[in-house]
Amino acid sequence: MLLAIPAVALLARALLAPPPLIADTPVTLETTEFGHGPTIVFLHGLGGARMGWMPVARPLLAGHRIVLVDLPGHGESPLPDPFSIEAAAAALDAVLARFAPDSTFLVAQGVGGIIALKDVQAHPGRVKGLVLVDVAVKSTLPVTDQEKPQFLSFIDQNYDAFLKMMFVRMGRDSAQGVALHAQAAQVPPATIKAYVRALLSVDASSALKELEPRLVLIATGRFWPADKDWPTVAKLMGYDDPGAIAVERIVSSGLVVAKDQPDSLAALVSRFAATTLSPR
């Protein structure tokens, strides 16, 4: 389902990211769309699927156009070749370009949030507002060239164990962890490896400095533990100026907020869209 960047980093200790590449052939992302009104586009995280957002989308249907997007390399969306976060952002931009920018909002979790930031940095006027859900904007673990061969050998020989370690621990409980792993197992191994490699050196913090759309970060209890203050969490997750970021918390939720607290997340998204669109 949805995976936070810190969890990826802890388990993928020895991947080094290649330089950013642009795909030779742009890919078309699969979407599910319904409803009328201001557009809300949802982008899931690593190992997830677009329909996982449905519990959040349902309460928003009465007054919004909902667009659920499969992340590149997931579901029916092809993986850009060569892969890079920038290529994934270009694929997302082709979806966003179809909608009116002055009434379009983008909700993105985990690596989906990194891709979203890269897109709005390249196309500042593409959306009216951006909602990041549990998104670390920088890699949280440095790696060295010396570590790379050992880990690449491990992941190739023990991919199933690697995948299980990544996703089972993400669940609110053991049953949810098993479900997350089962869903991630449907994603091609080449896709997971490509994302993990890119995430270990990612840095989207520059997008925050001159961001044109209004931004809010929604943090679950797993992302922002109750015993930590925001400056501490912000530093860990790559936010250089914590005071400049509007933050909302859903303390009672784990990382799978679309299942744990869908109504709470929908209410925050709806309020954010309404206040952003209202005359000031």
How does pLDDT run across 207-247, given as a tens digit for each residue?
999 899 999 999 999 999 999 999 999 999 999 999 999 99
Query: What integer pLDDT is reported at residue 107 of this predicted model?
Result: 99
Q: Is the dihedral of CA 19, 25, 27, 28 positive or negative?
A: positive
Query: What integer pLDDT is reported at residue 198 of this predicted model?
Result: 87
- Write the CB contacts of 53 (distance below 8 Å, at least 6 apart in sequence): 42, 44, 68, 107, 258
Query: Looking at the predicted structure, is the pLDDT value of residue 39 above 70?
Result: yes
Query: Looking at the predicted structure, is the pLDDT value of residue 19 above 50?
Result: no
Query: What integer pLDDT is reported at residue 144 of this predicted model?
Result: 67
Q: Which residues of 222-256 are buried (b: 16+ CB within 10 A; e: fewer)?
A: bbbeeeeebeebbeebbbeeeeebeebbbeebbbb
Would you say 2 and 186 are in contact if contact means Cβ atoms under 8 Å apart?
Answer: no
Sorting pLDDT into bands at 50, 70 and 90, what band is 280? Answer: low
Sorting pLDDT into bands at 50, 70 and 90, what band is 259? Answer: very high
Query: How open is the CA angle 62-63-64, to the nearest 5 degrees?
Result: 110
Sorting pLDDT into bands at 50, 70 and 90, what band is 264? Answer: very high
All domains of the chain in start order, with CATH:
5-266 (3.40.50.1820)
Percent of the chain with pLDDT over 70: 88
Query: Looking at the predicted structure, is the pLDDT value of residue 164 above 60?
Result: yes
Query: Looking at the predicted structure, is the pLDDT value of residue 22 above 70?
Result: no
Mean pLDDT for all residues in the chain: 89
Where is pLDDT greater, at 21 or 166? Answer: 166
3 state SS of 156: helix
Would you say 43 and 71 are in contact if contact means Cβ atoms under 8 Å apart?
Answer: yes
